[in-house]
Amino acid sequence: MLTPMKYIDEYRNPELARKLLNEIRRKAAHHWTIMEICGGQTHSIIRNGIDQLLPDTIELVHGPGCPVCVTPLESIERALAIAAREEVIFTSFGDMLRVPGNYRDLFMIRSAGGDVRIVFSPLDALQIARDNPAKEVVFFAVGFETTAPANAMAVWQAAREGIENFSVLVSQVMVPPAMRAILSSPGNRVQGFLAAGHVCAVMGYEEYEPVAREFQVPIVPTGFEPVELLAGILKTVELLEEGKAEVVNCYGRVVSRAGNPVAQETIHNVFEVTDRQWRGIGLIPGSGLGLRESYARFDAEKRFNVTNIFAEESPFCMSGSVLQGKLKPDGCPAFAKECTPQHPLGATMVSSEGACAAYYKYHLDTP
């Protein structure tokens, strides 16, 4: 465990990072494959060169922890169909606007005259609905458990105020079922996890304990700064070398075992567990959140009758294998060729948290 630190620079201290790296080298007697489940962690790892500084005995693979990346293509196509309607103001976080559908993205809808707006919170979208009562305002509610409380609060507030021109297109997913799917999949190589600190801040880490026991893997919640990530990797290595399938919290400044009960209650009041498609992976039972029946009138899929829109992934995009830790981004034949940030085949090349985007920005050799 890290000694509590006061300033952010301490979490980027090169000398402390070197000490942690030396400890990892000293204790990693066997080869271990560890997955960081969070896209923000992936970018920090690649940006700071942590993956290249680790000993050859430790391999990091990148999991489906980018909410933009795992939003299924059919949800993107439904968003595009809704956003193109004249009566709609479609709102979204900015990183969703360039995620490609089959032939277009939300930026193209906007350039063709659609009213597509970037917001920083679902409550911003709700305010737009208040200000534009003659328009249908839709918010693209994507993300993991981190975004679920605010998305739930926006729906709850709309119901409380009777704002009937507001709805949400929901693509909320949850981490533990994805971990189970990865560990259960044929050819799985993951032997330990770095858990996403911000998700654990909401949900706690108690729900990871049954996963650790069932699959005999250590799970270590950790943060996003280099020293925190190295401390998390070190703890995971120690648990693996000792044969301990436990959950050990390395992000104590933010995460507790129980998490945030108020946020959890807000999620539970508005959402219920449902099956959910994951882009590049497929259907994971019980891995998503959908609106409860009492809030069904705010469901944009039903309001605009787009439930039956389906789509197929590009046959050249291998993001599904990347998201499951079976392939590194630069192992995809289309990487940096047919697929670039300017002309992406999949969401992992678009998102600010996508593994392919991280490799393109930080690993690609450029003249």
- Please, how many CA atoms are within 13 Å of residue 299, restricted to the half-sphere of its CB? 19
- Give the DSSP H or E segment for 236: helix 226-242
Instruction: Provide the residue-wise pLDDT of the chain in tens; the chain has 367 residues.
Output: 556 666 667 788 889 999 999 999 999 999 999 999 998 999 999 999 999 999 999 999 998 888 888 898 899 999 999 999 999 999 999 889 888 888 889 999 999 999 999 999 999 999 999 999 999 999 999 999 999 999 999 999 999 999 999 999 999 999 999 999 999 998 899 999 999 999 999 999 999 999 999 999 999 999 999 999 999 999 999 999 999 999 999 999 999 999 999 999 999 999 999 999 988 788 999 999 999 999 999 999 999 999 887 777 777 888 888 888 888 999 999 999 989 988 888 888 888 788 998 999 888 754 3
The structure tokens listed for 306 are 């787009």
Provide the β-strand partners of residue 172.
Answer: 143, 289
The structure tokens listed for 359 are 């490799």
CA distances from 361 to 47, 184, 353 (A): 8, 32, 12
Secondary structure class of 91 (helix, strand, coil): strand
The structure tokens listed for 245 are 């399938």
Q: How many helices (H) and strands (E) does the chain have?
A: 16, 10
Domain spanning 68-161+260-303 has what CATH number?
3.40.50.11740
CA distances from 210 to 52, 206, 214, 251, 275 (A): 32, 8, 6, 20, 20
Q: What whole-number distance in Å separates Cα of residue 101 and Cα of residue 73? A: 6
The model's pTM is 0.90
Domain extent listing, the chain = 68-161+260-303
Length of the chain as a residue count: 367
